[in-house]
Amino acid sequence: MIAILNVSKIYKLDGVEVRAVNKINLTIKEKEFIAIMGPSGSGKSTLMHLIGALDTPTSGSVMIDGKDIGKMNDEELAFLRNQTIGFVFQQFNLLPKTTSIDNVILPLLYGSTPSSLRKSLAQQMLVKVDLSNRLCHLPSQLSGGQQQRVAIARAMVTNPKIILADEPTGNLDSKSSVEIMKLFKQLNKEGKTIILITHELTIAKFAKRIVHIKDGEIIKNNNDYR
């Protein structure tokens, strides 16, 4: 499904080149659950942004379903991000004055989903993440784990093939972290490709494969790491 071919990403800071990602090659199959793990500054989040079409490589190619996203125009990239990829971030990124159901509806506003179906689809997703009794709650009325469940429901509402999760448990306590990771495992069993970014081995072990990255390069690629 995803092929990262000799990809590098170079930033210039105060005239100095910083190679955040250095000639990475990686293949991710459909329905995989993969964790990309590394310390702060290792390049793992940069790699996620490249996979998610949030940034473009300095060199090399990122292919999704055989298409080079570096050759897509803005409209095609926006469609890809809306329909093929669901994003879950550490900070939840929920609108603070908006209810759970309206936060989940947001991605549907930018697609072709008829307005008559948006509310029912959002409600279905919130039921799926066990928040049927929190539909009209604001983020401030929810726990951190519940807010992340809303964010996952929002990522899922367009039925994407891929879920990209960047440190999704970073702001959660240990119990909530385990609950969120069990939810990702269930989504993977249902056929979603899950790409998890983390610096915690205990979280990475929920995945079926762990890719270790350091200084912008892959240093270890373990299959079926348990």
| pLDDT tens, the chain, 226 aa long | 899 999 999 998 888 888 999 999 999 999 999 999 998 889 998 999 999 999 989 999 999 989 999 899 999 998 888 889 999 998 999 999 999 999 999 999 987 788 889 999 999 999 999 999 999 999 999 999 999 999 999 999 999 999 999 999 999 999 999 999 999 999 999 999 999 999 999 999 999 999 999 999 999 887 644 4
Give helix 100-109 / helix 115-128 axis angle, nearest 10°: 130
**pLDDT computed for residue 223 by the predictor:** 63
Residues contacting 68, CB < 8 A, separation 6+: 61, 62
* CA–CA separation, 41 and 102 (whole Å): 35
Domain 30-57+73-223: CATH architecture, name and number where available: 3-Layer(aba) Sandwich (3.40)
Output the pTM of the full model: 0.91
The residue ranges of DSSP E strands in 29-98, in sequence order, are 33-37, 59-64, 67-68, 85-89
- What ranges do the domains of the chain cover? 30-57+73-223
Q: How far is CA 179 from the centre of its chain?
A: 17
* CA–CA separation, 36 and 19 (whole Å): 18
DSSP one-letter code for 138: -
**pLDDT computed for residue 225 by the predictor:** 43
List, as one string, the DSSP characters of 156-190.
HTT--SEEEEESTTTTS-HHHHHHHHHHHHHHHHT
CB 19 within 8 A of CB 10: yes
CB 88 within 8 A of CB 168: yes
CB 7 within 8 A of CB 61: yes
CB 32 within 8 A of CB 208: yes
**pLDDT computed for residue 158 by the predictor:** 92
CB 148 within 8 A of CB 203: no
* CA–CA separation, 113 and 111 (whole Å): 6
How long a stretch of residues is the chain?
226
Residue 176 has φ and ψ, to the nearest 5°, of: -65, -35
**pLDDT computed for residue 195 by the predictor:** 97
* CA–CA separation, 147 and 140 (whole Å): 9
Q: Which amino acid is at 41?
A: G
